[in-house]
Copies of this chain bind each other. A is one copy, B any other.
Amino acid sequence: MKNPFASLHILDFTHVYSGPYCTMLFADLGAQVLKIEKPEEGDDSRHYLPFKNGQSGYFMYLNRNKKSMTLNLKSKEGKRIVLYLIKRSDIVVENFSPGTMKKLGLDYKEVKKIRPNIIYASISGFGQSGPLCGKPAFDIVAQAMGGMMSITGFPDRPPVKCGASISDANAGIHAAFAIMAALYNREKTGKGQYIDVAMMDTTVSILENYVMQYTLNGIVPKRNGNEHSASAPFDAYQTKDNYVVIATGSNKLFERLIKVMHCEDLIYDSRFATNILRKKHYAELKPVISSWMGKYSTNDIITWLDKAKVPVAPILSIAELVQHPQLQIRNMMVDVNQPGVGNITMPGFPIHFSEINGSVRTPSPLLGENNEEILKNILHYDEKTVQKLKKEKII
């Protein structure tokens, strides 16, 4: 059966992370994603670590399955070309600072005139409205202003961001959800629409119960290391040789844990009778568990707790992760033959469907790799015109 995503055309004005992660999910599903990049430099992330043979691994991961065209959007001819491409697109995605697309004459209002049912998604730090609209933002700014940093880290140390740029990724996947919702809506109503996704909004949306702690009880949540905000014991512990994490919120799981620890008397300790009480008295419970964990190796602890069906895990390094059989079998580490670099391994498509096939089919494009193909096959430009555009740095 034909893949319905293969006939979706996305014009992709995004760079670095939030936008490229969003359009990557569509490209992996088979959509036609044409990435528009600045001539000469391209997407900033082409210059981001790590590199191999001069090519950026940052860029290669996020831009597989896409095509690349360079275009000076400030030039008259560049603008003409992009308007032509918009006419045949279903979706526009951009993550410039608010106002940039308007300055280029490419905001939703203008685009809608030539493509009325377009779905147009903007991803930004703070959104397209409000006093912070237009304030420049990168991931750490959104993690700071979205509340995530204030609750991450140990109480006796400064706030810390989540290692990877999760406010970027999270805005990207929310935007992908929103575009899919708009596509479904378009199927049902025939109408396109504008989508405004902010990194601050979407970070606030994933603060679990932290906002409610304040609005319900006036408690300002603090950094709590590896402890869970509502469950205990739910923490990381040092073992003889490394760390393990456990998650034993329910009475059933807690009983399993203390049986393995041979501390059955804790079952009858009224301080630890429920999850709420264990959370309340965790300062008294923690040393008992820490002391036990410190006596044994991570491997032994995991073997015993796995056997008892207690949620337990080692803290995998990225090296251990890449080689983990679970990810291999789940096709979550895939090999791609990147021209000029050779065979490289990157994370695969993160969802398993029974009918749709998300996969990595083509490596990320070189800068402007598809310029001629687009100009000649779609806009029917001749060789001479293409060369002229190159010379004038319009492409």
Contacts and interface: CB of A to CB of B under 8 A. Distances in A.
Contact of A57 (B48, B129, B168, B209): B209
Given A162-B162, A311-B138, A318-B213, A1 B149 contact: no
Contact of A313 (B47, B145, B180, B202): B145
B145 A316 contact: yes
Interface string A172-203: 01111110111111011101111111101110
Contacts of A207: 164, 318, 347
Contacts of A315: 144, 149-150, 159
A276 B47 contact: yes
A226 interface: yes
A373 interface: no
Contacts of A178: 351, 353
A281 to B, nearest CB: 14
Given A160-B225, A327-B200, A330-B127, A135 B61 contact: no
B158 A236 contact: yes
Contact residues of A: prevailing secondary structure:
mixed
A347 B316 contact: no
Given A144-B236, A145-B314, A166-B170, 18 more contacts: A5-B184, A45-B230, A57-B215, A135-B311, A140-B245, A141-B311, A147-B318, A153-B163, A157-B157, A163-B229, A169-B170, A195-B354, A198-B350, A198-B352, A201-B351, A204-B347, A204-B350, A211-B321
